[in-house]
Structure 1
């Protein structure tokens, strides 16, 4: 409960400012920014700092282990003893295997190029009009109902249960139904693929000779005059259509169920591209890269054919789904499901070997998986231990907890380190040990400074399995870190929690070093490693975009901050120095009073009556005042310019030229007197001077 309360206090967000809409009758976006800035300053709602939510920032990040072969089954199939639940279990060994090989295929199968037979022949090749991303020197083929092109390529053979996949690039020149491909005999149809702008049709024959049809909508994806990639995936009675790769959720565009599987005729059949066997419904348009696979490609493989890149998965990316379940489960990527199935379906199969325990299982966010190290068969192996490193990727985060949930017995010693963005040097974060003398440190030593590092002693009893190691960066019991309850005012503590990488060294092991314990019990098994933290947005954002690297905070508009971490004030909001937001104080950047005549300002403490207080005073000085204005706030006119009585200080032409006649002024001066209204420079003339109206005034608001 204490952990939850503390996390809540760290994450307490800003109160939402009330939304108000009003008509601004003044011109210019600078005036709008200024007005909104003042509203944010003087709002009756007490603003609070804003922070991104706490999350497991180590999930699905790059992870490595040293020594490199420290994961079971990497080099070859291996075995280990099942974790001991009680002392008696340690004297026996219930063997379990570790197998990392993919249960299905690990590469995309080969295909037949259906257009290869036309190279140098008919229809004509076109090396100018090619599909997007086509290789240099390749060619498309134009089908325009040429009656001379009657030759057909050899008919491909379907896979088991009528399984096959067709993929091609095509460019329609008509919107009507046209034949793309047909395989048939003189008296029997195997299948025919037709398309139009609106739909794709599959006509197919079954074992008893009957013919059926199924139609699938293209959902506006096929347009006359535009290239598109088409893929038809068939397995047993399931047929799926893909247009331009898989959908965003890795599904097919549409999936239908056939009455029976497609029945192949291995011999005596022919194939026709761009027309049916009787010449009807010819294809009018271009085709390129027409492939036939005698297997059912998975959704990821279809995306690879389309884009050239196999979609990334976190664990064992090479392992494919089986043809019967070609889609990777969107939440648990070790499973595969069928196209058209709901994400919650129980009809799922494992993509990975059930005895696989790869390193990526350590931070895949799935407590049902376990990373298992290789067996540490010698005392030297135990003393050297295993080092796990996680690259948080994308920038420097604020880390508050590191938690390891073990399936095996706990190590005897743990060293946790971090690396920050400003250095390549690893810094110690925390030691934990059965006896801290292994590190030359005292047990549960004091923490004298916010960034002190001590060694915490393990309890006298630790479980044989299912134990965990929790490192609380700010509150490592029994000694609370100095400044933990004033985190936002401790620069040293804020720096102490920042990390780009986390490294953990595991050494020794409880219970397994007795001579009666089989060596197969000497390994580390971790269900999950959790790194709890958040983006560092300096208290001025509650959302950050981690899809880009480095991550970028979405600075709240009312904070008037900029930068990837909202770490500086916007150019016109430097009336006070930048200050990070806190749970009780938003510390928004404050606007300078430049009246729309400057694009930036800077802070000068010498002109701030309250330099130590953020809400009061102000020391903003406008930079490079324009429109002939001058002064700290662009509130004066430059020499030889004056302000008319009643003119708005926001007006672009507020300062007008004096236009004095030198013949009628003292010493030929052309200056106007801006210090009082209706008065030019003191002058003694024997005759009246024709000149501008005497409407000068000082710039007091």
Structure 2
């Protein structure tokens, strides 16, 4: 009976162990499934893992970015007036106070790129000026190359008569005209009004007179590709790809239309933002104890405070320039690591919707924590803090504009809808760490391979380190990738006529009467001598 009870206990323990093992396997599978489910689909590759073009999301690249302005009202309390027409057709001048020291009455450059809320309009305002011709600039740095679709300016004042949009492709070192606006294009900018764009001049900036509406609150919207013939074949137009690329944008206001003479004056005291978003009497309450500023607001209208520029929204629509090799939805990157308590974890780093997810997964304890870190709207930051694309397809660079190291077997190309132009790794048979691209070799290969290996190691040579260098021969018992695939010739210093053997067979060049792979013995019918010149002579030589 005791033996039977012992057997029952042993069987029960074995069952428990087997059940525990199965349950643990299920738990591990669930953890693995959960990890797999957490990994996003990489838009740079299809469901079969084949590379395809991918692009970052379309954004307002100017949102919340700093804008450098050459003029801003409020250094000292000053008045500016906006003209409008009433129902009788009479001009009314609504006057406001600008003062940087008062949060309700300031109009900083930050208002250019903040959230554009129509129920609470915020406006940047320049210093009022006395002449209708006054140069004021707005300079926006995007921090990286973008491909722009439009540039939009929403005005609080009336639109200026003449202005220009410039772009830089080198972070502000040089500037190029993007678009001109003027009622007198030729006189102000030396440009024909509404010129025709052809394929021969697709990178030419235009000048248009469609900016003459005197009504306050107008908008100027510049479409970078409108009217340019190759816009419908953008993928195959390097000219237009270059045309829409910019790292910085500069707006130059050059002239404001003159206003009509003063017929009537109406003061406005509804806050600092053109009567929107403030409480009635804000200005007067704030300045009740300030005789000078109260008088400033109630003073008679003068033309010298009617000239100013005011913008409520500065938008730049476009995509981070990644040449079709990156998307803000980057593939998850996995690597093993050891946590503080010694447990092995996998770190999942994923860039998605402008958020980087760092998930620390412990395969013993399932998920232990997740950290969410805001990176940026479109791109990620490199170690220098610069905006960069999260490059795929074996590309590299801030804009994925080149192939990454050791992937030069094909020329770099911008990804298109038909070809992802994935960079191909050089074939150096594990004997080199560097390579370069050779176009002639690429053409000779039928456009299949143009990589040339540099500094072949392990005594190999050739564009692919695919044969042995002089003085060495191939060991056919080892694969070409083996580090000892090339053996030294070891030609006999006396029996061989040279030190270089056949790189395939290893046969050394032997002197007359000498034989052997290394020329180390006399041939049949020959005898050895002491002469280094003729180490072997025929036994049948006549004396």
- Shift of residue 500, structure 1, vs aligned partner: 3.2
Q: 2:511 & 2:127 partners in 1: Cα distance?
A: 105
Alignment of 1:180-329 (within 5 A): none
Residue 403 (structure 2) pairs with residue 403 (structure 1): no
Q: 2:424 & 2:404 partners in 1: Cα distance?
A: 9
- Look up the match of 2:313: 528
- Shift of residue 471, structure 1, vs aligned partner: 0.9
- Shift of residue 361, structure 1, vs aligned partner: 0.7
- Shift of residue 686, structure 1, vs aligned partner: 6.9
- Look up the match of 1:589: 423
- The 1:686/1:377 distance shift into structure 2, 3 A limit, reads closer
Q: Which consecutive unaligned segments of at least 5 residues does structure 1 have?
A: 1-12, 20-42, 103-352, 693-701
Which segment drifts farther, 438-447 or 633-642? 438-447
- Look up the match of 1:673: 502
Q: Which secondary structure does the structure 2 equivalent of 1:384 belong to?
A: coil
- Shift of residue 406, structure 1, vs aligned partner: 1.5
- Shift of residue 430, structure 1, vs aligned partner: 0.7
Alignment of 1:116-131 (within 5 A): none
Q: 2:55 & 2:85 partners in 1: Cα distance?
A: 42
Q: Which secondary structure does the structure 2 equivalent of 1:537 belong to?
A: coil
Q: 1:72 & 1:555 partners in 2: Cα distance?
A: 43
- Look up the match of 1:606: 440
Q: Which secondary structure does the structure 1 equivalent of 2:133 belong to?
A: helix
- Look up the match of 2:364: none
Alignment of 1:221-620 (within 5 A): 353-367=103-117, 368-374=120-126, 376=128, 378=130, 380=131, 382-392=132-142, 394-421=143-170, 424-439=173-188, 440-448=190-198, 449-458=201-210, 462=213, 464-475=215-226, 480-509=227-256, 512-513=259-260, 515-516=262-263, 519=303, 522-543=307-328, 544-545=379-380, 549-556=385-392, 559-609=393-443, 616-620=447-451
Residue 101 (structure 2) pairs with residue 101 (structure 1): yes
Q: 1:438 & 1:516 partners in 2: Cα distance?
A: 31
Taking only aligned residues, the RMSD between alpha carbons, in angstroms, comes to: 3.5
Alignment check: 8 A CA contact 1:414 1:432 kept: yes
Q: Which secondary structure does the structure 2 equivalent of 1:356 belong to?
A: coil
Q: 1:49 & 1:61 partners in 2: Cα distance?
A: 29
- Shift of residue 410, structure 1, vs aligned partner: 1.8
- The 1:97/1:447 distance shift into structure 2, 3 A limit, reads same
| CA displacement 1:611-656 (0-9 Å, x = unmatched) | 8x8xx42221111111011112111012232223342111111112
Alignment check: 8 A CA contact 2:66 2:113 kept: no
Alignment of 1:35-74 (within 5 A): 45=50, 47-66=51-70, 68=71, 71-74=72-75
- Shift of residue 442, structure 1, vs aligned partner: 2.8
Alignment check: 8 A CA contact 1:375 1:521 kept: no
- The 1:53/1:85 distance shift into structure 2, 3 A limit, reads farther
- Shift of residue 84, structure 1, vs aligned partner: 3.6
Q: 1:97 & 1:376 partners in 2: Cα distance?
A: 11
Alignment check: 8 A CA contact 2:161 2:182 kept: yes
Q: Which secondary structure does the structure 2 equivalent of 1:416 belong to?
A: strand
Alignment check: 8 A CA contact 2:182 2:207 kept: yes
Alignment check: 8 A CA contact 1:372 1:523 kept: no
Q: 2:56 & 2:194 partners in 1: Cα distance?
A: 33
Q: 1:546 & 1:573 partners in 2: Cα distance?
A: 23
Q: 2:391 & 2:515 partners in 1: Cα distance?
A: 61
Alignment check: 8 A CA contact 2:83 2:91 kept: no
Q: Which secondary structure does the structure 1 equivalent of 2:53 belong to?
A: coil
Q: 2:133 & 2:90 partners in 1: Cα distance?
A: 20
Q: 2:477 & 2:172 partners in 1: Cα distance?
A: 58
- Look up the match of 2:45: 16
- The 1:687/1:553 distance shift into structure 2, 3 A limit, reads closer
* Candidates 469, 476, 485, aligned match of 1:645: 476
Q: 1:593 & 1:532 partners in 2: Cα distance?
A: 42
- Look up the match of 1:198: none
Alignment check: 8 A CA contact 2:507 2:518 kept: no
Alignment check: 8 A CA contact 1:593 1:633 kept: yes
- Look up the match of 1:91: 91
Number of positions where the alignment pairs a residue of Structure 1 with one of Structure 2: 385
- The 1:499/1:88 distance shift into structure 2, 3 A limit, reads farther
- Shift of residue 685, structure 1, vs aligned partner: 8.1
Alignment check: 8 A CA contact 1:581 1:587 kept: yes
Q: 1:526 & 1:88 partners in 2: Cα distance?
A: 28
- The 1:467/1:86 distance shift into structure 2, 3 A limit, reads farther
Q: 1:503 & 1:471 partners in 2: Cα distance?
A: 13
Residue 456 (structure 2) pairs with residue 625 (structure 1): yes
Q: Which consecutive unaligned segments of at least 5 residues does structure 2 have?
A: 1-41, 265-300, 329-378, 520-543
- The 1:396/1:93 distance shift into structure 2, 3 A limit, reads same
- The 1:420/1:369 distance shift into structure 2, 3 A limit, reads same
Alignment check: 8 A CA contact 2:141 2:171 kept: no
Alignment check: 8 A CA contact 1:86 1:464 kept: no
Q: 2:104 & 2:514 partners in 1: Cα distance?
A: 108
- Shift of residue 403, structure 1, vs aligned partner: 0.4
- The 1:455/1:661 distance shift into structure 2, 3 A limit, reads same
Q: 1:416 & 1:687 partners in 2: Cα distance?
A: 84
- The 1:521/1:412 distance shift into structure 2, 3 A limit, reads same
Q: TM-score, normalised by structure 1?
A: 0.49
- The 1:576/1:689 distance shift into structure 2, 3 A limit, reads closer
- The 1:403/1:610 distance shift into structure 2, 3 A limit, reads farther
- The 1:515/1:385 distance shift into structure 2, 3 A limit, reads farther
- Look up the match of 1:126: none
Alignment check: 8 A CA contact 1:357 1:369 kept: no
| CA displacement 1:559-608 (0-9 Å, x = unmatched) | 22223332322232111222222343221212221111011111222222
Q: 2:203 & 2:514 partners in 1: Cα distance?
A: 81
Q: Which secondary structure does the structure 2 equivalent of 1:495 belong to?
A: helix
- The 1:92/1:513 distance shift into structure 2, 3 A limit, reads closer
- Shift of residue 377, structure 1, vs aligned partner: 5.8
Q: 2:140 & 2:496 partners in 1: Cα distance?
A: 79
- Shift of residue 454, structure 1, vs aligned partner: 1.7
Q: 1:364 & 1:418 partners in 2: Cα distance?
A: 21
